[in-house]
Structures are given as structure tokens and as C-alpha cells.
């Protein structure tokens, strides 16, 4: 996540507190280890400018297509959220060896935008809560969002270049469909055998040209036959998600104009 350290934190009861100061408080709360717990985004109250998701288990080096990139300002902090597997007790006490490598450029032709949409997860905060029924070999959760609902209908020259499907351990199949003003819903991604340990950002050989009337539809197929209670959405591995991380590009001249 990209966080502007100089910007005010998103805490109504603490006016004047900056993101940098809040993150310093979080980090100082655990002096024996680096970082801080940050389920969700960068930590409760930390304002996030962008979420350039590029890696999950199974993914190699990611190079953005279409001469694109994500703006990175001098005041930005890069917050990396790492999920540790402590369900396996054998992992406790092991050391982190995470390394982050970035390729930077003074400018790019196109700005990369990441959309992270998951109405299943969002139902944790927006009633009613959506759960998956237990004891089902196949149960499907489907959601649909339009460019207008995503706040992107005023942009022109938008192209969909990639998708990173995401579910957890109960996932079976995943499908993304895309419609534009001139075409009905068509399959854009079809994962017939979901593997939690193989989560890739897939880039299209031919991007989808989007318009104000475009829409996305995602279907996640889960196998809940191994559980006896309804499965709630959540960030934990034993919860579930139906996330579409979409990589869009927009001409830099449109977004970076003075």
C-alpha cells in the first residue's frame, strides 16, 4: 500500500495526527519486532492512497504492461502486508526473509490503477452479512459492479490489462466476465482448478477497452463440504473471499495534468 506520511490520519477523534505519526505509534507498540498488525489495509486509521497488489504465493516477478506504472511520491511510505501462517504450529519462531525489489522510472505513458472489489468481504462492514452454507460440494457467490458504481465512468481511454483472482482454501473455481457498451458479458478469466498456493496476476495478450457502460461480473465457486458451520468472509485463511484485483491503465496525460 502507498501511504502519504504527511497526510492526516483518518481518525476523527485525533485531529492533526499524520499518517506517519500514527504508523510510528503502531510500530513502537511492539519494540521486539518490526512492523505492526494490519488486518485489512495499513492499520486502523492509516489513510491509503493506492494499493498496488503485485504478489501472492505462486507469483514471480511482475512487470506492468502497456508502458504503465503506479505514481510514487517522495512523501509516500510503502506498507507491505504479509500474511503469516500460524495455524501450523511448526511455523512459530521462524524468521521472515521477505525482500521487496522495485523498478522505478521518472515517468510513464500510462498510469496503472488497481481495483480490489469483493462484496463478500465488504459484507463484514455493510449489512447483511454474507456467509457460505456448510456441507456443500459446490456453492457459488456472484457479484457485479459497473464502471459508474466504481467511480470510473468519467475516465476515457481505460483498458483492463490484468486480473488476480483471489479466494482462500475452500475455493474451487473462479470466473471473471466483462461487458462493455457494445458487447454483452464475455468470459475474461476462467480458473477451473483453484489452488490457494498458486495466485497469479494474469495479464491479457489483448486488453479490454472499457467505457462508461462497462461492467464486471465475478463468480466464486466454493467447496464447503469439510465444514459444519456457515463460513464467514474475512482476512483469515479459514474465512473466505471472492476478490477481483483488476489492473487498469489510463493515459498519464489524463490523470497527471496540472
Element (H, E) at 24: helix 19-28
List, for residues 97-140, the tens digit of each pLDDT value: 888 888 999 999 999 999 999 999 999 988 899 999 999 999 99
pLDDT band of residue 258 (cuts 50, 70, 90) is low
pTM metric for this prediction: 0.89
The pLDDT of residue 235 is 86
Is 95 a residue whose pLDDT tops 80? yes
* Residues forming CATH 2.60.120.230 domain(s) in the chain: 111-258
Mean pLDDT of 169-195: 95
Confidence tier at 1 by pLDDT (50, 70, 90): very high
The residue with cell 452479512 is 129
pLDDT band at 63 (very low <50, low <70, confident <90, very high): very high
Residue 191: what pLDDT?
A: 97
pLDDT tops 90 at residue 25: yes
CB 48 within 8 A of CB 7: no
Write out pLDDT tens, residues 157-180: 999 999 999 999 999 999 999 999
* pLDDT at 61 exceeding the cut of 60: yes
CATH architecture assigned to 111-258: Sandwich (2.60)
Whether residue 86 is predicted with pLDDT greater than 90 in this model: the reply is no
- Is the pLDDT at 87 greater than 80? The verdict is no
Q: What is the pLDDT of residues 33-60, one digit of tens each?
A: 889 988 768 999 999 998 888 788 888 8
Amino acid at each position: 500500500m502507498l501511504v502519504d506520511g504527511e497526510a492526516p490520519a483518518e481518525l476523527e477523534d485525533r485531529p492533526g495526527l499524520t499518517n506517519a505519526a500514527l504508523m510510528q505509534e503502531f510500530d513502537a507498540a511492539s519494540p521486539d519486532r518490526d512492523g505492526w498488525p494490519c488486518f485489512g489495509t495499513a492499520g486502523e486509521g492509516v489513510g491509503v492512497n493506492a494499493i498496488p497488489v503485485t504478489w501472492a504465493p505462486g507469483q514471480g516477478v511482475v512487470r506492468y504492461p502497456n508502458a504503465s506504472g503506479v505514481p510514487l511520491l517522495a512523501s509516500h511510505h510503502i506498507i507491505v502486508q504479509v500474511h503469516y501462517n500460524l495455524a501450523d504450529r511448526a511455523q512459530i519462531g521462524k524468521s521472515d526473509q521477505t525482500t521487496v525489489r522495485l523498478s522505478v522510472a521518472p515517468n510513464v505513458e500510462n498510469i496503472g490503477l488497481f481495483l480490489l472489489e469483493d462484496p463478500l468481504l465488504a459484507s463484514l462492514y455493510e449489512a447483511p452479512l454474507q456467509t457460505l452454507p456448510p456441507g456443500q460440494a459446490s456453492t457459488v457467490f456472484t457479484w457485479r459492479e459497473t464502471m459508474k458504481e466504481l467511480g470510473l465512468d468519467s475516465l476515457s481511454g481505460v483498458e483492463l490489462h490484468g486480473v488476480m483472482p483471489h479466494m482462500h482454501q475452500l475455493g474451487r473455481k473462479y470466473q471473471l466476465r466483462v461487458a462493455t457498451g457494445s458487447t454483452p458479458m464475455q468470459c475474461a478469466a476462467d480458473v477451473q482448478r483453484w489452488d490457494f498456493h498458486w495466485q497469479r496476476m494474469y495479464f491479457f495478450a489483448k486488453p479490454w477497452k472499457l467505457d462508461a457502460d462497462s461492467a464486471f461480473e465475478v463468480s466464486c465457486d466454493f467447496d464447503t463440504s469439510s465444514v459444519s458451520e456457515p463460513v464467514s468472509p474475512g482476512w483469515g485463511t479459514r474465512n473466505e473471499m471472492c476478490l477481483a484485483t483488476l489492473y487498469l491503465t489510463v493515459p498519464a496525460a489524463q490523470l497527471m495534468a496540472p
